[in-house]
Every structure is written in structure tokens, then in C-alpha cells.
Structure 1
């Protein structure tokens, strides 16, 4: 996030897109509601009638997979009506003229035809966001898990820069992370093309710095594989072994049948987790890790806040903290250094990672610090890009709409999309809770009441959802939350794994799968 969670409450306009915030990020949703009570105007772009629609000034009900057309349509109106921030663009950005030309074709009428959003609502949303005066964008995986996911995020950056809504309170572009330490994992180099602090592996100087610190020969200069590329390589026999830590791809990756075949094709699979997950059951070796309450360490939240956790209880049985397991493996593989504590590891991180340079465990005891923290005296950075962008000038990016990789047809006439449920966290942890299981014990598929009537489907009836990749049997939830021609399913349940149906089409840049749109058929067995 460019801004802080608390900062959301000070916004005059909040644009939420691709985020069912009350169910996926309920604490952040409270800040959104606080802002609305104070008088902020909320714009919600979502195909489903989510709870935030009840608090919204405008609801843009776009067809799944058409976000980029909608965003370019907003920019078209802002530019045509000269609502953009001329001073900000002139002083802090480049490439605006190319953007102006690119969005000329995205007229409200044309965008309405593509997205299903009335042209008048597109115009009003553009005016409301541009006039702010403080406008913030909140987004989540609803816009990233598409073949145009990277382009969607670039379009949001275009929108924010065009209106000068960056580098000040109550503004910004704020991704809401999907899990508790996704931000921290990325910060620490959990990506195939960077080392900690987003320092590129292609930079010889960066590689030399880390090689010197670790006392190892020069590190590889080529980026590694993304998750989906690893699965493809395993399927082809090019990748022989895999070490999976705290991940359950047998339920969470698209086209689960393909994932299982890929993992079976490995010569050696290690899984490190706190439960014996569906993926761990396929492993040659399972290493029992400790939960968050059973170890020392830090989590970095969605607002870039590095937070210190102290161990509350001892790990059960043979479970051990992840850092100890990894340290022992490093020693067995010839690494010459044994770390004594997580605090010592943080000292090394601070020495090698500029954005963490001023972070120590002692400084984190209070309420954490938001990176970048550039020195021991630096207070942290609640708002990014106040004076300039990390590259100097902000670069407008020309991005164009593309339809989803798979759209409904005669054989598979429904558009299928997936998401989370308030009562369950991903696929493993919350399903161990008796209380949460009582609140939401079984999977359901949402189907529009008109579609249900046409197909003769009754509430609670078991129906079969079929795609080109698989099928599941699941109870029907008949509702007007979902539009006609669409169905929605949560992905937490192994009994009816939604990702048996989803397509493994990838965004060409980030290689993120298109979880949010594919074509399915509905079969009713009387």
C-alpha cells in the first residue's frame, strides 16, 4: 500500500475494485465505513452485490474480466473533461500524451457495451474520483487474477497519477494483500527475479553484495521460475524436486488435476507446514513447522508495517520454527554460518536491504515500522512517493483491454468466478476451528435466482458444475447477489475444490493465473 490503513478514513472518495473488503479484509472495511459516515463517497466496482454496495455512492457492476476497459473508460472521461491534475503531471510524470491517445477509443458508450456498466455511471464515477479532493484506491485479487492482471494494476496507477492522487494523505493506490505475510515474503525475496528488498538478481552489483555477505560464489543472474512455471516444468520432467513451505497448491492452484500430475511427476517433494495438508499427503518428506504463536519473528502487513511477534506457547511434538529448520538444512548443505536467533537474521536483513536498514527488533517492540526505514533514526514511511517516485518520474503505461482467455459458449454457457468466505481463511487453518465450521460447514455455489428458476434448481439442491478441466458437486445458493449468466464459488473446501474448474491461463508478465473467469456448465441430476 502506498498509504496506511488508518489513512483510509480521511479520504473523500474511496474507489474499491476487485475486493470484497468486508469478507476478505474486515478491519480495513471498518475504515471504509468510517470514511463513509464522515461523508466520503464510496465507489464499488464488483460484479457481485457485496456488502459494501450498501454503503456506496455508486456501484459499477462490470462483467468479470472487463476491469481494464472500465479503468480506461474512467481515464477517457477525466481527460476529455480536463479533470486531470496538470501541475502534478507536468512536474512528476512522463508519458501522459501517449496515454491520452491510447484512451481516446474508450468512450463511455463503448465501455458500457463491453462492461455492462451504464455510460452515465462511468462518467459520474470518473468525475467523483477526479474531484476528490482526496481519493484513494483499494484493490485486491479480483483484478490481479486475470490474464490482464498486471495491466489492470498499471491502469490504476495511471488513474491515480493522472489525478495527482499519490504522495499525500487520503490518496494512493493500495493493494490489500491476500494473506498475513505476503508482503513480508515478497520483501524477503520470495519472488523469482529479486533478492530481498526487490533488488534484481540481474544486477551484478546486487549479486556481488549478497555473495560477499553470505560467503558463497557468485549467485545466478537469471530469474527463476514462477509457481505456475514450476508446475509446468515438473509436468514436463524438467524440474525434479520441490520444497513447498506453508502452501497448499493441491487446493489453491488452478486446474488442480494438472497440479496433482505435476507433483506426482517429481522425483522428490518436501512439504513444510503446520498441518498435514492435501499437498503434504503427497510429499516424500514432511517437516512439521511451528505456527505464528509458537515462534519469534516478524510479519510485514499490507501497509508495509513490519511487526514483531513473541512466542506465546511452545510448539507441539516435533514441530519447530521455520528458521531453525531452514538453518539446519543450510548447515547440512555446506553453509558455514549458524544463526542464533531471528533477531540476528534481522540484523543481516538490515545490512543488505536498504528499505529495512533502520529496522531492529528493539525498535519494533512498540507498534512496528513502515518501510522504507532508511536508518536507525528514520521514523518510517506512512505515505510513499511524497516528493518523487522511486524511478524519479512516474511513468504512464499504455495498456489495452483483452477479453478473458475463456468465455461462455453454447457448451459452457456460464461465467465462473471464485473468492473467499468471511468465515474461512484460505484452505487449511480455519477449517480446523469447530466454531468456524459450524458457521460455514460446507461449500456452496451462488447462482442467480432467474437462472435457477429457468433450470429448475431449488435452494440447497446438489448440482454439478462442469468446466473443460473438471467437475464438482456442490449445493446451490439461489440469490440475486450474482448476475444472470454467472456463478460464484468459494475455494476453501476440499470436498468441492473450485480449482478443479479454473483455467491455468497466465498473465504474461506476473504469470498469475486467471482464477476469476472461466466458462462452466451446470448440470442438474433429478
Structure 2
């Protein structure tokens, strides 16, 4: 269709607004309240235009374009209206541009300059508001607020946190948090979306006067170093320091960030950063030079290999390091003759790897995160998505608001349950029973996808027989889920045109984790919910580069690109590339390394197993007992304190490379600030160490390493830095002409036919008894990350969540005489910790929850090291404990 704007013929599609048409054709119309992808409000009226035949000016952001419409955007009438509006806005607040931290980046300031408008026209009294500063991140200055409503839309429609809204009426109207409380007292999660979209200086970062203004900084596009969502961000720097962080509007996160990504990159400048190599002398770690430290590492590792053999050496790669660094790290291990290389995927998604390879032939997420918009039903289980993957959780919440049916299965009340159509609340450790129950209902009511089963799977009859006993009544007894809710969930999932399963560590971190993931794969195949838009099964990656670390071969049984170490063809390709002879014997997993007396030395890059491993006291003792321990990290972590040599590394903000997020999307990482002191990027350290160990390296920059990765891992064959300069590519991408693969298994599975593998419930390795009557589960909170190595160096995050706590049900607390906030001791068969009690109904009776970020009250002192027999992953999510008031 066509309309005319300023005598220019413009084409458009029905549904577009005048503003959208003008923008698409390069015609400027000013905006203040307009926020893309949100409901237009026309609140500010600065975007008014003249439409021939209309009696009044119309707000172009809200007015739909129409065939034959004639529009003027800069007539005298329009310009007079805009100037009047600008004068009213300027006179309504304290717009002291000379002192405002938004100066140079303020839309109101820019428009006032563009249209030659000043203050004082109406002589209105200036509002008297004292800026709100009672939180560590965002300052609210109501005297500068123009009531455009962008912050409200950002909070309610984009992030769907619903923490702020308009309050009061008339001249008293203001933006309020909660019942007009402060942000710190409200439900605000400090994602900073409001801060990023504010067009004036009403919202600014805390301590803005101590930072450079945005217009004075240099932006560096990079990838967030926290969770597996892999948000793209523009890090604004000046004088070698990070000043501001903005979400990249053209990234797959569409400009959104969470509190950690936006406000918790200050760890890079923390005074406790490692700045020089450390060597243990007379029991103390003391500074040393790089040559001395690397020579010592090489001589000790070579001597131990000579004395005890290659399998005496263990290597832990890192989900926090780049693909290039993990590739070099596993290359170093394998060229030294051992496949004893693993990383933290062993503690999070090892069961996904085992199960999905058995069922599909590939263990990776099947669909990109953006594809959730195409799902009619979203089943989230074992994932506290709002706290562990907050930006992705906003996609889920938006999908639910737009009509998708959200089903949440979790023993604990999580943020998504507030948005769910149905909440299934199973008892911990009973997931296989309710998943089998869903399939029983689907089969008994004939809701399975017979065509998909016949064409693309095998083993369906064995599955049908195995599911006969899982009636809704049986599942209700076994799990506590009401039979009617189970039936409803089964019908919703099976009848959906497209349904997706999202899961995380609440499913995988069990002794039966592999079997539970197999049950989810069975459910997806039974209904044909694989290989289509909106239909898939997606394990959400917990750390920023868990996916990439696996892709690079940071696992004991597979090479880069997932060729098995005992496969002659895969091994031969790597041997030819490296010009080295390699071992065909699969190595020890991370958990096996800590149990094996054969292991005499470890090289740990960017991991903190002294806190992250189950039964952490045993892990610490095992590390201390090694003949030689090398730790490469950015801080002197709990693990590094036990080391013989500590090598200072660069953080993700100080080096170049790539991360691969939970989409399988390979994205650039770029250095924004310099390394502190003598610290070096991990790839440079490995590049220096390799020749000392007889391992060829010789790389000048990470781009060269990626070129080698493309040869070593066929799934990365078409990926290079040029192609991912602005936007990442989703593997598999076998050649330069390939666009990437957002959806896996469209026509076939890597193993050919998908395989149904029946599984049955198994009791946790440890169940409550009279001595230890509570079931403990562990996990994360929004404000902290993993073992706290980075986030606990952030002053703002520590102000919000300063210490460890235990969530316990109100009835349990009353029975034990425990008041909210009281300190208690939580004890298991392995140890005890002292924490603050948080009395809540988020957990059911008999259940407890403790986050694992806090070294002074390490939850993993309590957790059970019992392993899944296939994946060798510990049972973090269920152990028996007792609570003693202090």
C-alpha cells in the first residue's frame, strides 16, 4: 500500500503506524514516549503530524497508516505544537542541563536545541523533589521526569517485572514503585531497562557524578560474561575504566540486560584482582615472574607425567573462558597424552549430554531462545528462569501475556509461577513419575502424534508398555500433583500446535538425571514436538560459555565438534591437524578426578571446585593432597588458595574471542579495558606454556585459533570473525555459505530415528529420616552467580543480598520456634553451616532451599556427592538435613 509523507511516496504494509512508515523511509519524526515493540500510547504528543482531512494533529506513533493518506511532518502547525509541548516539558521540571548526568544524551535537550526552544515561557514553579538514592544502582529524580511512560512500558511490557506504574492523577501524577515506595522497597529487580529507555535525566546510575557522561565514552560491543543467555552489550569506557553498560538494541536480547550484566562488571577493577603470578614458597603464595612460574609449571607436570604416566594429570577447563581458550586448553591436555579434561558441564548438564545423545544423537538445545514466541504451550521444569536466565525469562513472560499457555513444574514457587496457567508442584526427586504420567494420559486418550512416531522414531511399543502403571491416581500418590492437574497439563501439551520444553539443573542434578532427561525426550517425541518452530526441548545453559566449552572438546570422551576420542576417523582428523599422536582412551570426568587416587596433579582454568563440587569439604581435601596444583584465574579463589602456582588471567572484559550461548550462537567477545598488572588473557598464557610442555602453539591472536577450530570441529566450519562481526551464527554451520541452524532435527535426527527409552522413578540417594528430616535443594539467586567469584566483588549486589540464607516453610519454622531473620545451623551427614532463616511459603513443608554462592556458608558442604551412574553428575538437588536454631 502507499501513502505520501512530505510529498514522498512511501510504501507500507497494513498494521504499520505513520511513525513506522516514516522511519522506514528515512523521514525524521521526533519521539519521546515511543518504545519499539510496546503498545503505543501517544502520551508525549511530540510526534504529532498533520494528516490531510483530519481536524486535529495526530500522534504518529499510534495512528495507523492508511492507503492514500497525505501526511506532513514539519508544517507550521506541527512545528508550533511541538515547540509548545517542549516548552511545557522544560518548564515543568528542573532541567539543569549543565549539571545533569544525561547531558549530551538527553532526547529532550536535543529536541530543544533542534527546535530552538528555551525555558521560562510559562513561568511555572519548579517542582521540589529530592532525588531518591536509597538503592545502589538507580537514582530517580522526579523533578526531571516528563511522564513519557517509557520506563513503565519497559518494566511492564518488555521485562514484565511490573514493579512501577503511573500513580495519582492530574498535576500530582508521578511514576510510582509499588504503593509509592522506593525502588529498594519495591519488587524492582534492578534490570535497568527503565534507565536505558529514559529519554531525559530522570533516571541515572548511582554515583553518576563520579563517572563520565555517556557522550564522553567509547562503546565496545561484547557479550555478557554471566549466564548462558549471552546478551549483547555495549560497554562504555573512558580512561581504561567501565563507565556505563547498555544492552545492544540490535542483539538477540533486544537491548535488555539483567542486574548483573548492567551493574556488576565492576569486579574488573576490584583491588583484589590477581596482578602477578604466585608461587608457593615455605607454605605461602608469593609473587613471581612469568618465566619462573611457567617454567615451574612445565617442569612439575612433565616430571609427574614421566613418573606416574599421563593419566596422573587432570585438567579442568572453564565455562567462563572463551572458545579459543578452551580449545587450546584441551589441546594442551591431549597433546600431553591424556583425555582427563572436563569442566563444569559435568556438574550441570552432563545428564543432558548422555540422555539426548541416546535419544536424538545430539545433546544441544534444539531451538533458539527467540523461537519461544512461536510456542503455543511452554513447559518449564527444573528452571528458576527469572533468577538464572532473567532476560530469557522476560521472553517467556511476554509470550504468556500474548496468549501462550505456560505450565511450570517445580517443587518451589519461582518467579514464573506467577505468570503460569498451571503450576505442577511435585515432591523433589519425583520428576520421572509425573513426566511418565503425562505420557500415560496422552496415550490413553489417543493424543500422541502417530505420524511422527511412525516416521521418525523407534521403540514406541516398549514405551507404551512401560507407561501402563502411571495412571493419574498413581502419579498423585507418588508426586503430590493432583490427578486433574496432570490430565490438564497432558492435554495442553499434546494438543498444542507447537510446544516447547525448557529445563535446567532442577532436572539434571540428580542420581537419576539422565533418566529424567530421557523421559522429557520421550514426551517431546511422543507428541512430535521436535524439529519445528516453537516445538523443541531445550536445556538452558547455566554459565556464559558452557555450550562452547563442550563444543571445544572440554569433555573426557569427545574431541572438538563431539567426535569421540575412540573413533578412528575423528581422532585421525585431529591428529593430522595437530601433527601429534593422541590417546584413544576416554579420560576421567571431573567428579572421578576428585575420587581417583591415580590423579597426582591438576591444572584448573577459571573454575572453583573448592566451592562448586558436592561435599565441598572432600573436594578441598583432595585438592590440598595433590602433588601439584596449578590454578589460572582472575581472583585468589578458594581453589586458588590451595594451589602451588597461581597464574593471573584476564576477565572476559579484557580479552578477545568468542562465547557460544544456549542458542548455540557463536558471538564475539571484545576487550573493553586493559588487564590489571601483569595478568594475561588465558589464551596467551597457554600459548606461552605450550612449547614448554612440547605442545605446538604459536598463535598471534584469537582469530587464528578460531580458524583452526573451524577445521577441527565441522559444526563450526563456516564460522569466522568476519561473519560474526555484528551478529552471531548458530551452529551447525558447516561452510562459509551456510547461514546457521536455528532449529535442529527438522527432517531427521543425527542418529537417524529418534529412540524411545523407557525410564522409571528412582528414590534419591539420600531421603529424610528422624535424624535429618528435611529435604534440601540448592540453586542460585538473581543477584549472584555461581561461586560468587565475580558478583561478590560487586558492592551493589552485596548490598542487596549480603549473606547466605535458608528458605523454610512457615509451618516448619513455627514448629521449631524459628523466627524470620534468626540464625540457624543447617547440618547434613557431611557438614554444617550457619545461615539466616528466611521464613516463606515459597518452599513446601519439609523442604529447604539454600543458594550456593557464599563461601562463608557454602551450601555444597552439605550436598550429597552420590553420582548419576552414566553422567557422573552429583545429586545437588536432594539431600537430607536438619535445622538447629542458634
TM-score by length of 2: 0.58
Mapped to 2, the partners of 1:309 and 1:178 lie a distance apart of 18
Mapped to 2, the partners of 1:347 and 1:179 lie a distance apart of 24
Tell me the equivalent position of 1:220.
Answer: 583
The runs of at least 4 aligned residues of structure 1 exceeding 2 Å deviation read none
Tell me the equivalent position of 1:304.
Answer: 664
Mapped to 1, the partners of 2:622 and 2:728 lie a distance apart of 40
Match of 2:547 among 177, 183, 187: 183
Mapped to 2, the partners of 1:424 and 1:449 lie a distance apart of 25
Tell me the equivalent position of 1:269.
Answer: 629
Q: Choose 390-399 or 135-144, whichever is displaced more.
A: 390-399
Mapped to 2, the partners of 1:457 and 1:132 lie a distance apart of 46
Alignment of 1:90-101 (within 5 A): 90-101=454-465
Q: Deviations over 1:131-186 (max 9, x none)?
A: 11110000001100000111111111111111011111111001110100000000
Alignment of 1:138-157 (within 5 A): 138-157=502-521
Tell me the equivalent position of 2:439.
Answer: 75
Q: Which has the larger radius of gyration?
A: 2
Match of 1:442 among 798, 803, 822: 803
Mapped to 1, the partners of 2:826 and 2:442 lie a distance apart of 41
Q: Choose 206-215 or 512-521, whichever is displaced more.
A: 206-215
Tell me the equivalent position of 1:342.
Answer: 702
Mapped to 1, the partners of 2:569 and 2:562 lie a distance apart of 14
Mapped to 2, the partners of 1:51 and 1:37 lie a distance apart of 15
Alignment of 1:345-424 (within 5 A): 345-424=705-784
Residues 1:520 and 2:520 aligned together: no
Aligned to 1:489, the other structure's residue is in SS state strand
Match of 1:21 among 379, 385, 392: 385
Aligned to 1:123, the other structure's residue is in SS state helix
Match of 1:507 among 852, 868, 874: 868
Mapped to 2, the partners of 1:251 and 1:440 lie a distance apart of 18
Match of 1:455 among 803, 808, 816: 816
Residues 1:59 and 2:423 aligned together: yes
Match of 1:108 among 453, 469, 472: 472
Mapped to 1, the partners of 2:553 and 2:777 lie a distance apart of 30
Mapped to 2, the partners of 1:397 and 1:341 lie a distance apart of 46
Q: Choose 179-188 or 75-84, whichever is displaced more.
A: 75-84
Alignment of 1:276-315 (within 5 A): 276-315=636-675
Aligned to 1:364, the other structure's residue is in SS state coil
Mapped to 1, the partners of 2:585 and 2:486 lie a distance apart of 43
Mapped to 2, the partners of 1:376 and 1:458 lie a distance apart of 62
Aligned to 2:507, the other structure's residue is in SS state helix
Q: Deviations over 1:304-363 (max 9, x none)?
A: 000011211211111111111111111111123411211111111111211111001110
Match of 1:3 among 347, 367, 375: 367
Mapped to 2, the partners of 1:460 and 1:170 lie a distance apart of 43
Aligned to 1:133, the other structure's residue is in SS state coil
Mapped to 2, the partners of 1:262 and 1:79 lie a distance apart of 49
Tell me the equivalent position of 2:683.
Answer: 323
Aligned to 1:392, the other structure's residue is in SS state coil
Gaps of at least 5 residues in structure 1 are none
Tell me the equivalent position of 2:22.
Answer: none
Mapped to 2, the partners of 1:58 and 1:27 lie a distance apart of 22
Tell me the equivalent position of 1:474.
Answer: 835
Q: Deviations over 1:243-300 (max 9, x none)?
A: 1111111111110111111111100000111111000000000011101111110000
Aligned to 2:594, the other structure's residue is in SS state helix
Tell me the equivalent position of 1:229.
Answer: 592
Question: Relative to 1, partners in 2 of residues 1:337 and 1:177: Cα closer, same or farther, differing over 3 Å?
Answer: closer
Aligned to 2:412, the other structure's residue is in SS state coil
Mapped to 1, the partners of 2:773 and 2:465 lie a distance apart of 36
Match of 1:491 among 832, 847, 852: 852
Mapped to 2, the partners of 1:49 and 1:351 lie a distance apart of 46
The number of equivalent residue pairs is 521
Aligned to 2:865, the other structure's residue is in SS state coil
Aligned to 1:312, the other structure's residue is in SS state coil
Gaps of at least 5 residues in structure 2 are 1-364
Aligned to 1:383, the other structure's residue is in SS state coil
Mapped to 2, the partners of 1:158 and 1:311 lie a distance apart of 43
C-alpha deviation, 1:392, in angstroms = 1.1
Aligned to 2:724, the other structure's residue is in SS state helix
Match of 1:121 among 485, 501, 519: 485
Tell me the equivalent position of 1:241.
Answer: 601
C-alpha deviation, 1:204, in angstroms = 1.3
C-alpha deviation, 1:400, in angstroms = 1.2
Mapped to 2, the partners of 1:324 and 1:253 lie a distance apart of 28
Mapped to 1, the partners of 2:629 and 2:460 lie a distance apart of 49
Mapped to 2, the partners of 1:330 and 1:79 lie a distance apart of 57
Aligned to 2:806, the other structure's residue is in SS state strand
C-alpha deviation, 1:207, in angstroms = 1.2
Aligned to 1:287, the other structure's residue is in SS state strand
Mapped to 2, the partners of 1:130 and 1:87 lie a distance apart of 14
Tell me the equivalent position of 2:4.
Answer: none
Q: Choose 306-315 or 189-198, whichever is displaced more.
A: 306-315
Mapped to 1, the partners of 2:630 and 2:393 lie a distance apart of 38
Q: Choose 2-11 or 12-21, whichever is displaced more.
A: 2-11
Mapped to 2, the partners of 1:89 and 1:327 lie a distance apart of 50
C-alpha deviation, 1:86, in angstroms = 0.4
Mapped to 2, the partners of 1:316 and 1:400 lie a distance apart of 53
C-alpha deviation, 1:450, in angstroms = 0.4
C-alpha deviation, 1:82, in angstroms = 1.1
Q: Deviations over 1:100-146 (max 9, x none)?
A: 11111111111111111111111111110111111000000110000
Mapped to 2, the partners of 1:329 and 1:104 lie a distance apart of 58
Q: Deviations over 1:57-97 (max 9, x none)?
A: 11000111111111111111111111110001111111111
Tell me the equivalent position of 1:332.
Answer: 692
Q: Which has the higher contact order (CA 8 A, sep 6+)?
A: 1
Tell me the equivalent position of 1:134.
Answer: 498
